[in-house]
Structures are given as structure tokens and as C-alpha cells.
Structure 1
Amino acid sequence: MRILVDCRYIRPGTPDGIGRYTTGLVRALDRLHPVELLVSDPRQRDGLPDRKAHTLPAPTGPGEPFVARRVNRLLGGAGGAPADPDTVVFSPMQTMGTLGRRYAVVLTVHDLIYYRHRTPPPWLAAPVRALWRGYHLSWWPQRLLLAGADAVAVVSRATGDLVGAHRLTRRPVAVVPDATDFHLPDGTPRRTRPVGNRIVYAGSFMPYKNVATLARAAALLDDHELHLVSPVPPGVREELVRLAAPNRPVFHDGVDDAGYRALLDGATALVSASRDEGFGLPVLEAMARGCPVVVSDIAAFREVAGDAGLFADPDDPAGFAAAVRSLAGCWPERSDAVRERARTQTWDAAAAALLGLLTDTVTRRRHPAGGPR
């Protein structure tokens, strides 16, 4: 079996969630089975295994619907060449072009957030933002993309349930979960108390993230500081300062992984009042460090944190504040619980799930229904 991974969604220098997902999976998958890389920028290879790489156009270009023809050529399958049942391409997104492909494809759905919250990511170019918004006005573009795959990966059961509920694909769907390498080393002593009186939020400031609830909760917690990890867009900082008064949030405007780990290691809790998530990677990262989590009561967070988490209504600042205060009497136990919950959520486990999906996909392509086995 020949496996190629589409790494073109990695943002060089400033990896986002998709980049972390791609990088973590590629590293772990390559330990189980050799991979080849598809890149659009040589810098996307930084931190990835030293394997053969093929260059394709960026995935946001106008030729993306036809990129499969270029993949056919680099695989030696151009023109009238027969399909290759032993080659499979894994994409960490669902937008990779598949028209005319002569190989197996597994596409990924992370979430369906933007069907309910249609504000596009601000870092996209204006024409791409317009297409993004139009894409999420109805379900048929999503169904059309997924129809081009042999199988679909989802990052959580919560996302898989939504894919099923909206009948987005007839292809096999399997969970290839997000994961983290933030786990404390085995033998790390049990934590008995937080080092600092801080609560940490790590995420964007898109409207659906509902950071305003956290600021209002911070106003009720005189003995805690709200630390905001990510860069803050213009105009948002002033509003959060107003909502948190008389307390004042601490704005970090971005930290590296070492700084982020240090914040989690000393925190009372990681907090998130998000209204919608496909997984919730910051929650898992905090848990892996033994940092308790106080998060909104939504399906994805329930799946990640389970009974180890504390949950509140996303519209209830007082509920968030009360949950944070409740940790004063049980912080060591909650720290133990989240760390244990996160122990098995590793990239190696995620890669094993992905390899199983890729193997099944190639097997079905070799032996279509009714054919010899």
C-alpha cells in the first residue's frame, strides 16, 4: 500500500489546528507505515519525516477542483492509465479536488460549525471568504465534495453524528481523533495545587467561541486572572476589558508551545465557553498537563473530557465562575482525573485508527462488492 498525505494545509511558521492535526498524524503514521508528502511550500516539510515529497499548487487556488489530474501524473497514472488500487491519498480537509482521480482518497471533516456560524476565518483572502460563506449556505457543496471520496474521517463521534444526521455522505465514516503530545512524562509527581490563581483560554476570538462569557465570569472571580493566549483582533481587546471589569484580563497575544505549557502547568483551570466545536484540542492539551477544565456543555467537550471535566451553560457566566471556585476543594483529584482521561489520547492511537481506515479503503478498492477476495 502506498500512502500519500496532503500537507498543503500546514501554515509555515504559525501552525493552526489543521496544521497540528496534519503534523501529529504524519509523524505517528510514518512510524507505522512509510508515507509520502504532498506540499505546496517547501517549508511545510519542517518537522515532518524526511520522506519523498511532491509539489502541488496551494489548496486555495482556482485549480484545486482539478488537482487530482496532477496527482495522477506524479503517480504515473495520467491519460488512459488504469486506476491504481494500492495507492491512497489522505487529506486532513474535505476540500481536496478529486475529479478524475485514479487512486483512493480519504477526506476529513473536522466540524460543521460554519453552517450555523457563517463568519469566515479572517485570515482568508476576501474572494476566498466570499466563497466560504456561499459554500456554507446549503449542504449540497459538502455532499458533492464528500461524494468524491472513498471514505471519510471525522475527528470525533460528535462530528460523525452530525455528518450522519445531515446525510452528508454514503461513504464509510470513521473517527480519526485529534490528539496531543502535551502529555506529562510518566513518573511526573502528582500535582497537589495550582501554582498561580489564573484561568486560561486558548483559542480564537471568532463569535461562536463566545469569549465574552469568560470575561463576564472573570469579573466575578476577584481571586483569579483570566489569561488569553491567542492574538486578539482589533476592537475585541477593549470589549473584553470592559466586560471583565473591575478585573483586567492578561493578554499574551500568542505564545510558543513551551510558554503555553508553562501557563497550563500553573493554572487553576483551562476555560472555554464555545458554543460549537468539532473536537476541542485546547481542552485535551490542558488535560494532558493535569490542568482541570471548565467548559461549555456541548457534545464535543463531553466526548473529550468525559466525567473528568466540569461543565457550564455557555450563556451562564455565574455558572463558569462557580465551577472554577468549586475546584478549591478538589483540585488535586480533578488534576488526576483529567490527566488519566487524556493518557490514551495520543498521536500513536490516532495514527493507528487512520492506518486501519486507509487499509480498509484500499481493500475495498481492490475488491469491490461482489468481486473476489
Structure 2
Amino acid sequence: MAHIGLNVLYLVPGAVGGSEIYARRLVHALAAAAPRDRFTVFCGREAAPSLRAEGWPGNVRVHTLPVDCANKPARIVAEIALLPAAAARAGVDLLHSLGTTCPPFTRGPSVVTILDLIYEAYPETFPKASLLGLRALVGPSARRADRVITISKAVKDDVVARLHVPADRIDVGYLGFGMRSVPDATPAAELRERLGLGDGRVVLCVSAALVHKNLLLLLEGFAALGAGFEDCRLVIAGHAGRERERLEARIAELGLTGRAVLTGWISDEDLEGLYGLATCAVYPSLYEGFGLPVLEAMVRGVPLASSDATSLPEVAGDAALLFDAHDGDALADAVRRLLTDAELADDLVARGRARAAHFTWERAAGDVLAVYDRVLGA
């Protein structure tokens, strides 16, 4: 029987995207797969109430550190100065940090999951202080950790190349599909009325408004669809990131006002409803650690076009139309095909559901538990 500490200090509910889904779903799967082991989740004040209400198995307890983790400098100080001592007092046998950074020094074995290195590939996505902090912490911590887990082979290759961590110290552990299906999805008619979508076809992109998400190219590709697609509406659903103003300006310049909608953050019920009414989905990102929206579309039977960048071909396989992430015409052509070729769309839906079935949280937990066994056995 092992006692595992799980560091989720990075988790600020509603503010950290797919990494929140990773923590919530993985902890449940780990505890269910290893009922004789104990798991202590170390979090900040903001996350503690919802984590305690998560409904995890009885072998999980939540330990709150006295820090507001939305304050990133305070969170980093807590991770370096408070977390190792708290883990030692709790008697954990191994500390696993789930959010790319980890304490540089711990009293026992340490494992870190590196979700992505977007801060290196697209530094303009991050405020300067955050960028400096990540560069100071991630590389040294990863090199000191006993094992590193990445969520795709693409991230593993990036960690080897950019952080100089030996490949034989890195394990790849894929994720399961993202948000749970919501039974009370918002009705299509209500969404069409509220978002001004009319009665036509809907192209859905689930993405925050950030530089590496490549949404300017998406707008240009959508504008290039041409005659016969005037009824189509593009919905970009995700929190309003640092690119929001540029995207709104580009929508106006391309004459897409009223045809391209930026929803900002929406509820799970609204997102489930959007998947239900979407004719197709598109994911143009330049860099992903994994790409949960790809799986979410496939699980829900929405035909998908995806860029061919970083991890996305690993996830999509042959179940999506892949296009060059830098080519707006290629994006437009892929979307046109999904909107007009029903046989192709149906084939991709069938392929997508079959492929998504291989990405489960049970499998993800098994991969992570194997890493724990390797470290503790050593």
C-alpha cells in the first residue's frame, strides 16, 4: 500500500482549461484503480471546496495549503516552500505534481507531469512575469524529478529538445476524453436565439482566445468558404483570452460580423448543446499538449477538421481531416468538405467514436500507476 501526494496547486477552478479536467478525472481514476493506496491532494484555497465536493473515492483526502493560487507568485512560493514540508508531514511516499511545475527539492521521490511547453514555443501567450517564472522552474524541476510524464509523444520530444531531459526518464501517458456528457444540454433553439445563429449550419471551435490557438487563421479560412456557405455560422466557444480584441477587429475586417460568434466562457450545458447542433467542428491550434476538444468532438459524433500540429495527429489519427496549421486555404477546403460531403462526414463520425474509445481515464490511470510502481520499486 502506497501513499501518494498529488500537487494541484495550479488548479484555479474555471481558469486553467484542460489541466483542470486532467486533475479532476485522473484523481478519480487513480483512486478507483488502486483502492488499497491512499491519495492526498494538495491544493490552494480556491480549489478546495469544489475538490472536496468532487465525489472521489474514500481513499482520497484534500489538504488545503494557506495560499490563494490565482496569485501566481504566491503559488510558486507555496509550491517551493510549503508543499514539500506538508507532504513530509502527511507521510506521502511519492509526490506527483500534475501541472508542469514541481518543487525543485522534496524529501522523497518526485514525479511531474509536463502538460506542454507552450511558454517556450509561444512566449507571447504569457505575461512577462509568468514567462520568467516558468523558465526558471520547469526545466530545473524536471531534470531533478525521478520521472517525467508527458501527455503526448510530441510533448516528450519537446521536453527532450528544449529542457534537455533524457528520453529514458520520460513516460508518455495519454488522457481520457474531456468533459462528461451533460444530460440537460441547453436546447438548440435557445442557443440559436441567444447567439444569433439563425437556422443554418454551425461550425464549432472550442478554444480559448490565445495566440497559439491560431484563431486568426480560422477566421480567414471561414471567410474564404465562398458562395453557397452564407448560411453558415462560426462559433468559437472558450474563455476570452489575450487575443479577444484582435479577433473582434479581424471579424469586422473580414465582413464576418453576425456570422462569427465569440461566446467567451460558457456553461457545460451550453457547450453540450453546441456540440449537439454543430454540423462540424474545427481545431486549428498551432501547439497542443494533447487536445481534449478533439476527443470531445469525436465522442459526441461531430465530424472534425484539425490542424496537423504537435500532438493533434496522435489524438485524431485517421478520424479527422488534417490540414496544414499555417494554410488558411487548406483549412477552408477541409471545412467545405465536411459541410458538403455527407458520406465523408458519416465515415469520420464512425472512425472518431471508435478511436475515442481507446482514450479512457482508466487507461490513463494505469499508465500513471505504472510510473509510481517504477519509482517506488527503484
Q: Structure 1 10/133 Cα, relative in aligned 2: closer, same or farther at 3 Å? A: closer
User: Using the alignment, how far apart are the partners of 2:287 and 2:162 within structure 1?
Assistant: 16
Given candidates 81, 94, 97, the residue that maps to 1:91 is: 97
> Which structure has greater helix proportion?
2
Corresponding residue to 1:142 among 123, 138, 141: 138
Please give the secondary structure, in 1, of the residue aligned with 2:311: helix
Which residue of structure 1 aligns with residue 193 of structure 2? none
Q: 1:174 corresponds to which letter in structure 2?
A: D
Task: Tell me which moved more, 196-205 or 168-177.
Answer: 168-177
1:167 deviates by 5.3
CA drift of 1:282 comes to 0.9
Tell me, yes or no, if the aligned pair for 2:149 and 2:171 is still in contact at 8 Å.
Answer: yes
Checking the alignment, whether the CA contact within 8 Å between 2:148 and 2:170 is kept in structure 1 is yes
> 1:259 corresponds to which letter in structure 2?
D
Provide the C-alpha distance between the structure 1 equivalents of 2:11 and 2:235, rounded to a whole number of angstroms: 27
Q: Distance in 2 between matches of 1:242 and 1:334?
A: 33
Once the two structures are overlaid, the 10-residue window that deviates more, 241-250 or 112-121, is 241-250
Would the aligned equivalents of 2:202 and 2:232 in 1 still touch at CA under 8 Å? Answer: yes
Structure 2, unmatched stretches of 5+, are 183-198
CA distance in structure 2 between the partners assigned to 1:148 and 1:109 by the alignment: 13
* Equivalent residue letter for 2:33: L
User: Does 1:265 find its partner at 2:276?
Assistant: yes
- Compared with structure 1, are the counterparts of its residues 352 and 69 closer, same or farther at alpha carbon in structure 2 (3 Å cutoff)? closer
Say if 1:219 and 1:278 are closer, same or farther in 2 by CA, change over 3 A: same
Distance apart, 1:316 and its partner CA:
2.0
Give the AA of the match of 2:301. G
Tell me which of 314, 319, 322 is aligned to 1:303. 314
Quick check: 1:173 aligned with 2:170? yes
1:331 is aligned, of 345, 356, 361, to: 345
How far has the Cα of 1:16 moved from its partner?
1.9
User: Are the equivalent residues in 2 in contact too, given 1:176–1:354 (CA < 8 A)?
Assistant: yes
Name the counterpart of 1:29.
30
Task: Provide Cα deviations, 1:211-241, integer angstroms capped at 9, x if missing partner.
Answer: 0111112213324211011133552342242
Residues 133-168 of structure 1: per-residue CA shift (max 9 Å, x gap): 22566xx75331112311111010111112223353
- Spell out, residue by residue over 1:16-70, the C-alpha distance to the aligned partner (whole angstroms, 9 max, x if none): 2211110010011110124221122222413251532222244632343223442
Match of 1:133 in 2: 131
Larger deviation: 46-55 or 330-339?
46-55
Greater displacement, 227-236 / 294-303: 227-236
- Is contact 1:111-1:278 (8 Å) kept? yes
1:287 aligns with 2:292: no
* Alpha carbons 1:91, 1:107 under 8 Å: kept: yes
2:117 match: 112
Q: How many residues align?
A: 336
Does the Cα contact within 8 Å between 2:111 and 2:146 map onto a contact in 1? Answer: yes
Task: Give the whole-Å Cα distance in 2 for the aligned partners of 1:211 and 1:198.
Answer: 16
Please tell me whether the aligned partners of residues 218 and 224 of structure 1 are also in contact (alpha carbons under 8 angstroms): no
Structure 1 contact 106–150 (Cα < 8 Å) conserved: yes
Amino acid at match of 1:352: G
Distance in 1, matches of 2:267 and 2:292, equals: 16
CA contact (8 A) 2:88 2:107 kept: no
State the partner residue of 1:102.
107
Change (3 A) 1:116 1:299: closer
CA distance in 2, matches of 1:228, 1:153: 31
| 2:196 equivalent in structure 1 | none
Amino acid at match of 2:65: L
How much identity, in percent, do the aligned residues show?
Answer: 26
Q: Is the 8 A contact 1:181 1:347 kept in 2?
A: no
Q: Post-superposition shift, 1:305?
A: 0.2
Q: Which residue of 2 aligns with 1:56?
A: 65
Residue in 1 aligned with 2:54? 47
2:84·2:103 contact (CA, 8 Å) conserved in 1? no
1:211 pairs with 2:215: yes
Q: Please tell me whether the aligned partners of residues 240 and 249 of structure 1 are also in contact (alpha carbons under 8 angstroms).
A: no
Q: Which amino acid aligns with 2:145?
A: A
Q: Which runs of 4+ in 1 moved over 4 A?
A: 181-185
Q: After superposing the two structures, state which structure 1 stretch, 36-45 or 301-310, moved more.
A: 36-45
CA–CA distance in structure 1, aligned partners of residues 375 and 247 of structure 2: 47
Q: What TM-score do you get using the length of structure 1 for normalisation?
A: 0.82
The one-letter amino acid paired with 2:240 is V
Whether 1:343 aligns to 2:365 is: no
In the alignment, the residues of structure 1 paired with residue 89 and residue 137 of structure 2 have an alpha-carbon distance, to the nearest angstrom, of: 28
Query: Are 2:99 and 2:113, in contact at CA under 8 Å, matched by a contact in 1?
Result: yes
AA aligned opposite 1:287: M
**Bigger shift: 148-157 or 52-61?**
52-61
- Name the amino acid aligned to 2:214: N
Q: Tell me what 1:188 maps to.
A: none
